[in-house]
Amino acid sequence: MEYILLIDTSDEKGLVYNVSKILFEYGLNIENNSEYVDKEVNKFFMRTVLSGEVDESELLADIKEILPNDAHVKLSTKQKKDIVILATKETHCLGDILIRYHSGELKANIKAVVANHETLKDLVEKFDIPFVCVSHEGLSREDHEQKVIEAIKEFDYELIVLAKYMRILTPTFVKTFPKQILNIHHSFLPAFIGANPYKQAFQRGVKLIGATAHYVTDDLDEGPIIAQDIVRVDHTFSWQNMRDAGRNVEKVVLSNALNLLLKDKVFIYGNKTVVL
Amino acid sequence: MEYILLIDTSDEKGLVYNVSKILFEYGLNIENNSEYVDKEVNKFFMRTVLSGEVDESELLADIKEILPNDAHVKLSTKQKKDIVILATKETHCLGDILIRYHSGELKANIKAVVANHETLKDLVEKFDIPFVCVSHEGLSREDHEQKVIEAIKEFDYELIVLAKYMRILTPTFVKTFPKQILNIHHSFLPAFIGANPYKQAFQRGVKLIGATAHYVTDDLDEGPIIAQDIVRVDHTFSWQNMRDAGRNVEKVVLSNALNLLLKDKVFIYGNKTVVL
Amino acid sequence: MEYILLIDTSDEKGLVYNVSKILFEYGLNIENNSEYVDKEVNKFFMRTVLSGEVDESELLADIKEILPNDAHVKLSTKQKKDIVILATKETHCLGDILIRYHSGELKANIKAVVANHETLKDLVEKFDIPFVCVSHEGLSREDHEQKVIEAIKEFDYELIVLAKYMRILTPTFVKTFPKQILNIHHSFLPAFIGANPYKQAFQRGVKLIGATAHYVTDDLDEGPIIAQDIVRVDHTFSWQNMRDAGRNVEKVVLSNALNLLLKDKVFIYGNKTVVL
Amino acid sequence: MEYILLIDTSDEKGLVYNVSKILFEYGLNIENNSEYVDKEVNKFFMRTVLSGEVDESELLADIKEILPNDAHVKLSTKQKKDIVILATKETHCLGDILIRYHSGELKANIKAVVANHETLKDLVEKFDIPFVCVSHEGLSREDHEQKVIEAIKEFDYELIVLAKYMRILTPTFVKTFPKQILNIHHSFLPAFIGANPYKQAFQRGVKLIGATAHYVTDDLDEGPIIAQDIVRVDHTFSWQNMRDAGRNVEKVVLSNALNLLLKDKVFIYGNKTVVL
């Protein structure tokens, strides 16, 4: 059996010693071990891939005992996680995830796609995945969101993936799924605020267009960054060409970030991540 | 003899035909020709490398005659341009330019380095380049800037390169050197405003750090973008490591942008550039 | 009506003048014009986007008349091109193209997917595209290839896309579709020859994995390069992780190269391309 | 006091536990700890930054006692390392290192530059560094190399940096400085073998040019890779432009790799590196 042990705690002397002592006593093999200490805020992070046979709750209890009180400990297995995807009309991010799902590369069960338009229904159902349309028309933001939350909760999920879901989320939504929401966001150097950032980027003549995948912890486009990348553009790109180039990098970055989450490689602390 | 013909004008039918007719009649060889038309704003840009022997002012007059009234035409040669560099204390951008200058790779004559600290004097003088320190201590921003302008004007220059010059420039300075100031600026996805952006980037856990080289047309950190690039960082980077990584990309981007300007490859229009 | 005029010829003085004269006389608007001259081999390339109404064959005849004898001239329209895709078992490149096709982003009609395994049949047929399996089992390379050629010829095509088609092509195949075959190939710094290059790359500890999209003009993995990109890896990547990372960059590079071909932006000469 | 503990050994159960026990007993603080296990070859690597006061040889002896017999253990401090640079005529890599040295950013003492031409003497001596020219003229490869080895041995060194040293090294040279030679090498996708790879890359129309920094363990251009990067080029680049672009990426990659070595972050095993 293979386990992933995740520890996130305030740092103190002897942590590695004490944890590795327990793992040794349980006869577990350390297949892979990554640690990170942030001395400035005195935080310790550890991700250990273990093989062996143990009583999981006993092991967890023993580890918790020797850790500081604020410690978070999790024992995960390498099985596929359940996810629900939220989308609107755009195909690029969702399509990339669907293809990975179909090929078996994605370490996740897509339980449903929830969207506020019917546009993607045809594509999603090709892959035998439930598609739920929750139209926002005629509803207040709060009422619509409530219906989306209900729609999600009809399914099993460990993670909500916003694959270009073009609705602003309220704090209620975010609090309903704490540290469970992954979002992808175009990003620019410099930043452009307001409507149609691609037009603004075009008018400023940017040479790079980026994408940022992040946890949603507060408002939609903020939160701890998980992965980022850029693509090069030049003056021959119309703003539509820039948008298309941006879509390419969005889909790659979202899929990379999703893979990191599915492998339990990402810790959150403060407004940042540690990727081990 | 080799010339670079630069045309920047509102677009109209027959432009290419009319210009190439004149070049043909003058017996000039087109070594290389790049054009760009922005249909939305009806602008036409052309950069042509020509070989042959002509009366330059006659050729320019003939070309201007067949172009719209708002046309800018310039006939440049491939000779080295005179530049003055402004700096403060940091070595990375200035050092990269000095090494290129020493090796003969830089198509420029560095006429002087003007700085508001003495720190770089020793380095600059190793390369037999005049170093002028104009300290800002005890002076108002306006008075200091006036002295810097005077210091620059002691030398020949076609271009002012801000190689990490850490002073805010007033509109007076910018107007004194219209379309002649090149700046390098760190940049981030997302953007961080205010003091120590590297600390902010660190706290947000960015995965990329960028650099943007641009003309200074208004305030210091805005203006048409010429070149951009990024470097990858991760959670193991302290903010000082991020700053060091940022310096690497700053020096490369500034040198690349400077090379483009020295080869007369950059047109400005609106708040953007066309690089031909 | 919008046209794309493509000229590929040996260079001579007055070319631009003579061509633009004809376009001017036909009353055509130049929406966009790109040229490239390679002085070393005396070649001239031009891609011009034109708007207006003309008798196409008359225009072509007039242009040919003023060009050198070796000139190739083509007048293309902006309509979608017909393509046939060849594949084997892998999903990543094919899937990316299918998603773009479904969303309408791809400027092509996929007429069929021809494969030497049944693996991809289910995926392809979801998108209502004919899937033809031509198994190689029990056949000589030549006989199998002949059947593949016949299968392709059942459909209309301007372009053959090898989306991870894992069969070696004979010169017969390549000659059957001259300058019509696009391939994607992993690539490494340094290069690894022989079986399982990912294992070799892993054993050498490469930090980058690349992908190269190219025309097939001779053997499968050579030919004029159209697009390239890389992805970063490190010692924590198993060779399977490296292969997965390589797949990501393969699909992006193949789609980008395909877009360039569909927009008539790529000229071939010698063993290289000019992308205008 | 700050130490860097480096362990490189065959893997066995309890390693982390046993080492951390000793560090704990010595009262040392773990500031930072990175490990990597390669299960396929059963190798374990650990780099630990420690703070505290210890008897270094006692600590080393205690650690060695609990490790497998094939273990390599090293206790390094954060002080600057002594390096000797070899060069020929090109300025870009050497210049970048000299500028970092001058600014104090480089964590190394440059004890000397040894070159087979006089070209760089003027530049090196600006920075008050001994320059030794060992001309190869009139000498056999072996005799010249012997004189270079003698020249190097006049100085203290922990590391030899080949900053575009354009001479082929014999196995004798490599064995004289085991795991101590850092080299930078242009690299291409695909690879080009033989004279003037830039011309070959130009003729093939590559879109990327790379650079690889590696240890020299056998012949000059092979050996475990430490760092790699690429720069984008296109058909408008002459082969000289490609070479210039390549120089940019060479200098950045060499400096990055050198920084990794100076921070004791690189382990060698087989023909690859682990960078912790």
Residuewise pLDDT in 10s, chain B (276 residues): 899 999 999 998 888 889 989 999 999 988 888 888 888 889 999 999 999 999 999 999 999 999 999 999 999 987 899 999 999 999 999 999 999 999 999 999 999 999 999 999 999 999 999 999 999 999 999 999 999 999 999 999 999 999 999 998 999 999 999 999 999 998 876 677 677 888 888 888 899 999 999 999 876 667 899 999 999 999 989 999 999 999 999 999 999 999 999 999 999 988 899 999
Q: What letter would DSSP give residue A12?
A: -
Q: How far apart are CA C174 and CA C178, in angstroms?
A: 6
- pLDDT for the residue numbered C190: 64
The answer to whether A221 and B198 are in contact (CB under 8 A) is: no
- Find, in chain A, the residue whose alpha carbon is nearest to that of C33: A236
pLDDT of residue B53: 92
Cβ contacts from B onto C, under 8 A: 49
Question: Sorting pLDDT into bands at 50, 70 and 90, what band is A33?
Answer: confident
B229-271 confidence digits (pLDDT tens): 999 999 989 999 999 999 999 999 999 999 999 999 999 988 8
Q: Are B133 and B115 in contact (CB under 8 A)?
A: yes
Q: Answer whether A46's CB lies under 8 Å from A93's CB.
A: no
Q: What is the pLDDT of residue B255?
A: 97
Q: What are phi and psi of C274, to 5 degrees?
A: -115, 125
Task: Identify from B5, B21, B34, B230 which residue to disrupt to test chain C contact, counting C C-beta atoms within 10 A and taking the largest count.
Answer: B21
What are D156's two structure tokens?
A: 């203290």
- Chain B residues lying within 8 Å of D126, measured CB to CB: 126-127
Mean of all residue pLDDT scores within chain D: 93
* Torsion, CA A110, CA A116, CA A118, CA A121, rounded to 10: 0
| Residue in C24, C32, C37 closest to B17 by CB | C24
* pLDDT tens-digit map of D189-201: 667 766 788 888 8
The confidence score (pLDDT) of residue D103 equals 96
pLDDT of residue A198: 86
Candidates B32, B48, B126, partner chain D, best to mutate (most D CBs within 10 A):
B126
- In chain D, the domains with their CATH numbers are 2-76 (3.30.70.260), 81-275 (3.40.50.170)
pLDDT, position C97: 98
The overall average pLDDT reported for chain C is: 93
Q: Is the pLDDT of residue D45 over 90?
A: yes
Which residues of C fall within a CB distance of 8 Å from A103? 91-92, 95
| Higher per-residue pLDDT: D198 or D55 | D55
Asked whether the beta carbons of residue B16 and residue C39 sit closer than 8 angstroms, the reply is no
**Cβ pair C39:B31 closer than 8 A:** yes
The ipTM (two decimal places) reads 0.93
Which chains does C contact via 3+ CB–CB distances below 8 A? Answer: A, B, D
Q: Give the model confidence (pLDDT) of C170-183 as tens digits.
A: 999 999 999 999 99
Within 10 angstroms of residue D196's Cβ, the number of other Cβ atoms is: 11
Alpha-carbon distance of C19 to C239, in angstroms, equals 54
Beta strand pairing call for B208-215 and B181-188: antiparallel
Least confident of B12-21, D129-138, D213-222, D264-273: D213-222
Mean local confidence (pLDDT), A198-225: 86
Q: Which two tokens stand for residue B103?
A: 């090796």
* Burial category of A61 from C-beta neighbours within 10 Å (exposed 0-12, middle 13-18, buried 19 and up): exposed
pLDDT given at position B132 = 98
Residue B197: the pLDDT is 83
pLDDT confidence of residue D17: 87
CB C22, CB C3: distance < 8 Å: no
Which residues lie across from D72 on neighbouring strands?
A: D8
C-alpha C84: how far from chain center? 12
Count how many Cα atoms sit within 13 Å of the Cα of residue C251 in the half-sphere of its side chain. 25
What is the per-residue pLDDT across C129-176, written as a single tens digit (0 to 9) for each?
999 999 999 999 999 999 999 999 999 999 999 999 999 899 999 999
For D210, residues 6+ apart whose C-beta sits below 8 A from its C-beta are C189, C208, C230, D186, D187, D188, D189, D228, D229, D230, D231, D249
- Cβ distance B113 to B130 under 8 Å? yes
pLDDT tens string C75-120: 998 789 999 999 999 999 999 999 999 999 999 999 999 999 999 9
pLDDT of D270? 86
| Closest-CA residue to D173 (of D190, D197, D195, D151) | D151
Q: Characterize the bridge pairing of strands C81-87 and C72-77.
A: unpaired
Residue D209 has pLDDT above 80, yes or no: yes
Chain B hits for A225, CB-CB cut-off 8 Å, are: 204-207
Separation between Cα atoms, residue D235 and residue C122, nearest integer Å: 41
- pLDDT band at D175; cut points 50, 70, 90: very high
Whether chain D has a CB inside 8 Å of the CB on B92: the answer is yes
Identify which of A8, A53, A65 has the alpha carbon closest to the alpha carbon of residue A276: A8
- Between A149 and A39, the higher pLDDT residue: A149
Kindly tell me if the per-residue pLDDT of A44 is higher than 70. yes
Q: Which of B125-134, C58-67, C131-140, D14-23 has the lowest mean pLDDT?
A: D14-23
